């Protein structure tokens, strides 16, 4: 499967339309990025049910910053609009395959329930109930 170029203009459409997105943050001058590119492309061919996207960090600075990219290459995994994985460094093919498989295996109902619990706890901590004591 061909990779998609991810930009600030299409990110919402890409992550809404697809259940799982694997993102490669890269730059043309980055030698490890150049070495990782063919691995990323090969693994994408093995998973037609997953969207593989590339972000040129020089062209999409805000997008890279939004994903907290500090070093390249960086791989991120999103599923149901939730970031499950974000790691700098060129992964060997077997490790990237493992990341994809693990992402597919995540119980997203549990993840969404945990996010809701955390949000409720944050809301409660930030907005304590009014006291009736006088």
- From the candidates 30, 63, 69, 72, which is the catalytic residue? 30
Of 11, 33, 50, 91, the catalytic one is: 33
Q: Is 30 a catalytic residue?
A: yes
Q: Residues 55, 25: contact at Cβ < 8 Å?
A: yes
Residue 54 structure tokens: 């590339």
d(CA 51, CA 93): 17
Taking CA atoms, 11 is separated from 2, 18, 63, 64, 67, in Å, by 17, 11, 9, 12, 12
Q: Which residues are catalytic?
A: 30, 33
């Amino acid at each position: 499967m061909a990779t998609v170029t991810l930009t600030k203009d299409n990110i919402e459409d890409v992550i809404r339309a697809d259940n799982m997105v694997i993102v490669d943050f890269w730059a043309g001058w980055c030698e490890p990025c150049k070495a990782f590119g063919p691995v990323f492309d090969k693994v994408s061919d093995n998973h037609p049910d997953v969207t593989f996207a590339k972000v040129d960090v020089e062209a999409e600075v805000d997008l890279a910053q939004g994903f907290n990219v500090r070093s390249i290459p960086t791989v991120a995994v999103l599923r149901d609009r939730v970031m499950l994985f974000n790691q700098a460094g060129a992964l060997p093919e077997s490790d990237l395959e493992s990341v994809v498989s693990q992402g597919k295996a995540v119980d997203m109902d549990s993840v969404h329930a945990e996010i809701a619990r955390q949000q409720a706890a944050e809301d409660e901590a930030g907005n304590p109930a009014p006291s009736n004591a006088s």
